[in-house]
Amino acid sequence: MKLGKVEFCHFLQIIALFLCLSGMSQAELSRSRSKPYFQAGRPRTKRSWVWNQFFVLEEYMGSDPLYVGKLHSDVDKGDGSIKYILSGEGASSIFIIDENTGDIHATKRLDREEQAYYTLRAQALDRLTNKPVEPESEFVIKIQDINDNEPKFLDGPYTAGVPEMSPVGTSVVQVTATDADDPTYGNSARVVYSILQGQPYFSVEPKTGVIKTALPNMDREAKDQYLLVIQAKDMVGQNGGLSGTTSVTVTLTDVNDNPPRFPRRSYQYNVPESLPVASVVARIKAADADVGPNAEMEYKIVDGDGLGVFKISVDKDTQEGIITIQKELDYEAKTSYTLRIEAANKHVDPRFLSLGPFSDMTTVKIIVEDVDEPPVFSSHLYSMEVSEATQIGNIIGTVTAHDPDSSNSPVRYSIDRNTDLERYFNIDANSGVITTAKSLDRETNAVHNITVLAMESQNPSQIGRGYVAITILDINDNAPEFAMDYETTVCENAQPGQIIQKISAVDKDEPSNGHQFYFSLTADAANNHNFSLKDNKDNTASVLTRRNGFRRQEQSVYYLPIFIVDSGSPSLSSTNTLTIRVCDCDADGIAQTCNAEAYILPAGLSTGALIAILACVLTLLVLVLMIVTMRRRKKEPLIFDEERDIRENIVRYDDEGGGEEDTEAFDMAALRNLNVIRDTKTRRDVTPEIQFLSRPTFKSIPDNVIFREFIWERLKEADIDPCAPPYDSLQTYAFEGNGSVAESLSSLDSISSNSDQNYDYLSDWGPRFKRLADMYGTGQDGLYS
């Protein structure tokens, strides 16, 4: 019978395994010399162990214990007098020994990957004495490896990246598989690699596991990711070997291999002429299949008639070209613009220059649309001047504005009154002529800034604004005056010709050549014998004394009128009075006392006497205050009930009445009837002079008598009322009187009245009494029946 190549290899493996096991089990026993062993009463003899070399295959799956080997001693004669025992790693739990024959068996499945060998100790004992007949000896049981572990990728799955367009053989990543089998025995741990998925784009080195590119010009834009399956197989890849797999995700990274291209060769956009400066007109973008830095763009305007009117910049997020306005657009001046725009990559890879220029051109046409614009002033700011002496209605200047649209609508002018609250100016609505409406005063407001509004007649919503600065020119309309309020003093010991004050003047006007003031005394004061005035010719003047011997007792204050003239045309003047006080001065001329009253004190009273008089007056005042206080304290309390003091106890009753229909809680008639007899109450704190037992009935007497009697009755009641406060108080009364034409209109009095009075006259009193007339008139008799 002929065998195939595969079958023949299997047959040889079985034969080799059988021979190995037979050789280990039946090998000749080796003899080794041992140390002499002495026993009492016996001659010294030589004994030695004889045993087999022990190897055991792992992963035994049989039902019977696996035979390992046999131990035998030279002393053992086979008569059963020798007993074998085993100790060490796995003794009794994994390995057992027949104490009679010395045969060793394994009772459990062994795994070399868990433990490769076991170290044990064996000893032969005399069965009767249980004493060793040979020294204890150590031996090792090695576990023989079989191919029972597949290769494993401990770091999988893998991810890697490689640039697109890489040449063949470019290394991508290295994968590594490990096999737990014994690498020193056989081929169980020898691994080879192969690719199961990912061809023909990638390949793997069989021995190293390095993955490489297998195709040139792989394009990321066509496919940017690949999934590879790599296999690792032991037994050098032969049949029967175990294998393991892992996945590798390979991503192609981008390179700048695609030039930018505009989708269209030309673009057109319409924009209104009113679009503000810096507004966005359009966004254009050149397409680039690359990503990241390789797709970054630069845009620029290379040609066209809008180079100075528009500019283009790049949006870093979207890589778009943004066209914005640099100058204001005017449809009447130019209706369209043409721009030639170039887009180019910022980062160019020299390796791919052969793919073409990495830039592109396009044309952008911008159409300016006409809009209704507000009127435009011929100047943004008008400057005008007017004298403050100008008459009301005089012309100051003219502003002009026009409609920039082709319709050239007429313009009407007005002043924004928020800028001219006092209405100093007017403007002609048709001509734009500005005139004065009030008298102007430069000293109040030197410059007026007003806003002039120009609106189209056909479309008043279109309003243009012009700004006018009106400067008020000065005239000499303010007289000079003292620069400040002077406090001038002259010493009693002053000498003739001594300067006691230097004065200056101010003027609200502002002449172009500056101020020039002239000082002099008025005609009435020019010949006085006390003071003189010297003009210093520098807008100041000096006041000098003409004599000495000033006395406060004679005259303590002098008034010196000074005449001041300015240099305006025409010149203005004013008279200002300088007050000069006579003072007592020290040796240095510094004023000490300027009051003349010090010399008017009575000659017979000294300062000490005045103080004594003042002290006596104060003492008397203190005594009076003490007496008054003591008298108030000695007064006995007027209320006999010490536990209640109405000044300190306030009792409040929040009882709400039932209204006009409640006739039980109060006698409503008593509120208005003067003839109700009240019970008199006697005050306990005072003795009444007159006791009122009853109240007399009022008769028809004049109103003034009724009022007097009414108040007198209330006063007496307050005097004898025990609830009245024990001190003076103000009582207020309201009494209508019996002589009223309408008498009482209150519904309170109507409760106690049973008269059949006719109220028809209420309807004649006007609309205010209509409601009462409706309620009490004869026409409503059936209403309450």
Distance CA 741, CA 743 (A): 5
pLDDT of residue 724: 64
pLDDT of residue 123: 87
Distance CA 748, CA 739 (A): 18
Section 617-622 average pLDDT: 92
Q: What is the pLDDT of residues 624-635, one digit of tens each?
A: 998 988 887 765
Between 612 and 658, the more confident residue is 612
Section 255-279 average pLDDT: 92
Section 572-588 average pLDDT: 90
Whole-prediction pTM: 0.45
The answer to whether 244 touches 177, Cβ cutoff 8 Å, is yes
Distance CA 439, CA 423 (A): 10
Tokens 């394994």 belong to 106
pLDDT of residue 5: 41
Q: What is the pLDDT of residues 169-193, one digit of tens each?
A: 999 999 999 888 777 777 878 899 9
pLDDT of residue 146: 77
What average pLDDT is seen over the chain?
79
Distance CA 57, CA 759 (A): 140
Section 443-467 average pLDDT: 91
Residue 270 has pLDDT above 90, yes or no: yes
Residue 3 has pLDDT above 80, yes or no: no
Tokens 């059936």 belong to 782
Give just the sign of the alpha carbon dihedral 80, 85, 86, 92. Answer: positive
pLDDT of residue 174: 93
The DSSP annotation for 117-130 comes to EEEEEEEEEETTT-
pLDDT of residue 278: 93
Cα torsion at 706, 711, 713, 718 (round to 10°)? Answer: 170
Q: What is the pLDDT of residues 420-440, one digit of tens each?
A: 999 999 999 999 999 999 999
Nearest to 661 by CA among 751, 772, 783: 751
Encode 304-320: b = buried (16+ Cβ within 10 Å), e = exposed.
Answer: bebeebbbbebeeeebb
Distance CA 124, CA 140 (A): 17
Residue 298 has pLDDT above 50, yes or no: yes
Distance CA 96, CA 103 (A): 8
- 658 CB contacts (<8 Å, ≥6 apart)? 664, 665
Residue 608 has pLDDT above 80, yes or no: no
pLDDT of residue 703: 56
Nearest to 175 by CA among 159, 163, 196: 159
Nearest to 510 by CA among 551, 547, 477: 477
Nearest to 502 by CA among 561, 543, 446: 543
pLDDT of residue 54: 82
Between 714 and 520, the more confident residue is 520
**Residue 782 — very low, low, confident or very high, per pLDDT cuts 50/70/90?**
very low
Nearest to 727 by CA among 666, 628, 639: 639
Distance of CA 95 to the CA centre of its chain: 81
Q: What is the pLDDT of residues 136-179, one digit of tens each?
A: 888 888 887 777 788 999 988 999 999 999 999 999 999 999 88
Residue 546 has pLDDT above 60, yes or no: yes
pLDDT of residue 741: 52
Cβ atoms within 10 Å of 737's Cβ, excluding its own: 14
Sheet holding 266-272, edge to edge: 266-272, 359-369, 336-345, 297-304
Angle at 691 between CA 689 and CA 694, to 5 degrees: 150
Cα torsion at 657, 661, 662, 667 (round to 10°)? Answer: 100
pLDDT of residue 173: 94
**Residue 130 — very low, low, confident or very high, per pLDDT cuts 50/70/90?**
confident
Q: Which domains does the chain have, with CATH numbers?
A: 53-144 (2.60.40.60), 152-253 (2.60.40.60), 266-367 (2.60.40.60), 376-473 (2.60.40.60), 481-593 (2.60.40.60)
Section 776-782 average pLDDT: 54
Assigned token pair, 77: 């004669």
**Residue 55 — very low, low, confident or very high, per pLDDT cuts 50/70/90?**
confident
Q: What is the pLDDT of residues 340-362, one digit of tens each?
A: 999 999 888 888 887 778 899 99
The answer to whether 141 touches 223, Cβ cutoff 8 Å, is no
pLDDT of residue 565: 93
Distance CA 403, CA 407 (A): 8
Distance of CA 594 to the CA centre of its chain: 67
Q: What percent of the chain has pLDDT over 70?
A: 77
